[in-house]
């Protein structure tokens, strides 16, 4: 049976004003290019944005890491960066770190989440896209969705979920990976993923190896070796029939957790779930936000999207995020609003510290 691949590839190619949102001309150009590729390289596509990040959603039968799919995404990003430059949009070409494509967009700046699967009789897929945060922001939610029985009642009452899931965690600093089996190793998993700036959940599988979730783990600053912009990750999750229900996948986003990546990639702030019409960063360039589009995948076609956070059920968390934002902003330049010193190494702070390097003296004994 032919397998379907869902590829979500994203980049910030320039935005207006400042880092707030993508321009409609860019969305149009990207959508047109993907439509031209439909029936040829890809089966179906959808283009959207979260804040200043351009999101390309594609379906095809070529598997993960396919050179032609990645080339298509890269070419679209380059063309859109050109449009951004013509309008002098802010940060035109921001996330495009290489000049020429060499087989895979990973390591060149864009974020990539992909999964290949045999379609079930009915295959609901949820695609999450975030702005002003880092890939580890998904850790909390993936744990709640696939390993917390207080969130996902299916883990307790549905025989097809009862055995648990396998999590693949990447150490983005040391470039190594490890797998944990839950519920047996839940506490060990938490020991790592509770440090989301370094340990990032890349995949979740059923115990029989069937894919359940896939995220982008690219850290822009680690690729560039300097601060460019924030990673602004994406995530794909399959739901129902052997996976958590759609509502179980969405429910943890009712909790307003603090994530890293707000203002200049240097601050913690509350992660606000919003409808696509509100996926524009404003207050202090944020707050960090997440959108979710729901599709039914049908023979590679994307039936949808449904704008999942465009719902009064999430008004409460949005209000809580505004309150938390006031509390965090009151810290001004102080931690824990500002990131810890080790994380600030990848921001513009070291350039300031350099100025004072020679002014420091030893404290007399």
Q: Report the sign of the C-alpha dihedral through residues 117, 118, 120, 122, in that order.
A: positive
Judge whether 227 counts as a catalytic residue. yes
Give backbone dihedrals phi and psi of 170, rounded to 5 degrees, phi first.
Answer: -105, 135
* Partner from ligand 13P, Mg ion, none contacting 338, C-beta within 5 to 8 A by type: none
C-beta of 135 vs 229, nearer to ligand 13P: 229
Q: Report the sign of the C-alpha dihedral through residues 119, 208, 167, 189, in that order.
A: positive
The catalytic position among 46, 140, 203, 227 is 227
Residue in the block written with tokens 């994406």: 234
Residues forming beta bridges with residue 289, ordered by sequence position: 131, 272
Q: Render 25-63 in DSSP notation, one character per residue.
A: HHHHHHHHHHHHHBTTTBSEEEEEEETTEEEEEEEESS-
Instruction: Specify whether the CB–CB gap between 273 and 292 falls below 8 A.
Output: yes
* Partner from ligand 13P, Mg ion, none contacting 264, C-beta within 5 to 8 A by type: ligand 13P
Under DSSP, the state recorded for 286 is B
Rounded to the nearest 10 degrees, the angle between the axes of helix 24-37 and helix 67-86 is 150
Binds Mg ion by CB under 5 A, chosen from 9, 11, 12, 221: 12
Stretch that binds Mg ion, among 25-33, 49-57, 110-118, 135-143 (CB under 5 A): 49-57
Q: Find out whether 230 is annotated in a ligand binding site.
A: yes
C-beta of 189 vs 272, nearer to ligand 13P: 272
Under DSSP, the state recorded for 183 is T
Instruction: Specify whether the CB–CB gap between 11 and 111 falls below 8 A.
Output: yes
C-beta of 12 vs 44, nearer to Mg ion: 12
Q: How far is CA 236 from the centre of its chain?
A: 9
The CB-of-284 to ligand 13P minimum distance in angstroms stands at 8
Tokens of 102: 């060499």
Tokens of 32: 């047109």
Under DSSP, the state recorded for 105 is S
Q: How far is CA 159 from the centre of its chain?
A: 30
Instruction: Specify whether the CB–CB gap between 77 and 69 falls below 8 A.
Output: no
C-beta of 23 vs 230, nearer to ligand 13P: 230
Q: Find out whether 52 is annotated in a ligand binding site.
A: yes
Residue in the block written with tokens 């150490």: 171
C-beta of 43 vs 246, nearer to ligand 13P: 246
Binds Mg ion by CB under 5 A, chosen from 44, 114, 131, 251: 131
Judge whether 230 counts as a catalytic residue. yes
The catalytic position among 12, 66, 95, 307 is 12
The CB-of-94 to ligand 13P minimum distance in angstroms stands at 6
Tokens of 306: 């449904």
The CB-of-133 to Mg ion minimum distance in angstroms stands at 9
Q: Find out whether 170 is annotated in a ligand binding site.
A: no
Binds Mg ion by CB under 5 A, chosen from 110, 111, 229, 269: 229
* Partner from ligand 13P, Mg ion, none contacting 285, C-beta within 5 to 8 A by type: ligand 13P
The CB-of-285 to ligand 13P minimum distance in angstroms stands at 3
Binds Mg ion by CB under 5 A, chosen from 53, 123, 134, 343: 53
Q: Find out whether 90 is annotated in a ligand binding site.
A: yes
The catalytic position among 10, 199, 230, 251 is 230
Give the separation between CA 317 and CA 321, rounded to whole angstroms. Answer: 6
C-beta of 202 vs 230, nearer to ligand 13P: 230
What are the CA-CA distances from residue 258 to residues 95, 261, 267, 322 (Å)? Answer: 24, 10, 10, 12
Q: Find out whether 104 is annotated in a ligand binding site.
A: yes
Residues found near ligand 13P in the complex (CB under 6 A): 12, 19, 51-52, 91, 94, 131-132, 229-230, 232, 245, 247, 263-265, 285
Residues making up the annotated binding site for dihydroxyacetone phosphate are 19, 132, 264, 285
Residues making up the annotated binding site are 12, 19, 52-53, 90, 94, 103-104, 131-132, 230-232, 240-241, 264, 285, 346
Enumerate binding residues for Mg ion (CB under 5 A): 12, 19, 51-53, 91, 131, 229, 232
Active site positions, annotated = 12, 227, 230
């Amino acid at each position: 049976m032919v397998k379907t691949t869902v590829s979500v590839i994203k980049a910030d190619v320039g935005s207006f004003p400042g880092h707030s949102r993508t321009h409609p001309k860019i969305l149009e150009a990207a959508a047109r290019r993907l439509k031209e590729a439909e029936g040829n390289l890809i089966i179906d596509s959808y283009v959207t944005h979260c804040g200043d990040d351009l999101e390309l959603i594609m379906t095809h039968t070529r598997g993960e890491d396919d050179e032609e799919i990645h080339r298509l995404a890269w070419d679209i990003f380059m063309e859109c960066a050109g449009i951004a430059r013509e309008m002098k949009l802010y940060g035109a070409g921001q996330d495009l770190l290489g000049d020429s494509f060499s087989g895979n967009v990973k390591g060149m700046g864009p974020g990539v989440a992909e999964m290949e699967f045999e379609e079930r009789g009915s295959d609901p897929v949820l695609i999450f896209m975030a702005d002003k945060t880092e890939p580890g922001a998904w850790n909390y939610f993936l744990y709640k969705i696939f390993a917390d029985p207080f969130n996902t009642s299916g883990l307790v009452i549905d025989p097809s979920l009862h055995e648990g899931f396998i999590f693949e965690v990447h150490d983005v600093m040391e470039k190594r990976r490890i797998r944990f089996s839950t519920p047996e190793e839940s506490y060990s998993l938490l020991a790592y993923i509770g440090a989301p700036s370094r340990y990032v959940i890349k995949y979740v599988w059923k115990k029989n190896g069937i894919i359940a979730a896939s995220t982008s783990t690219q850290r822009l600053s680690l690729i560039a070796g300097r601060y460019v912009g924030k990673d602004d990750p994406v995530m794909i999750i399959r739901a129902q029939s052997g996976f958590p229900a759609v509502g179980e996948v969405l429910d943890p986003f009712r909790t307003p957790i603090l994530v890293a990546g707000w203002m200049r990639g240097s601050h913690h702030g509350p992660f606000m779930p919003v409808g696509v019409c509100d996926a524009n960063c404003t207050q202090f360039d944020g707050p960090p936000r997440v959108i979710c589009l729901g599709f039914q995948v049908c023979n590679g076609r994307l039936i949808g999207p449904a704008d999942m956070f465009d719902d009064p059920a999430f008004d409460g968390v949005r209000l809580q995020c505004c309150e938390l934002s006031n509390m965090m902003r009151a810290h001004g330049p102080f931690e824990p609003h500002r990131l810890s010193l080790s994380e600030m190494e990848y921001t513009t702070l070291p350039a300031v510290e350099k100025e004072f390097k020679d002014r420091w003296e030893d404290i007399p004994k």
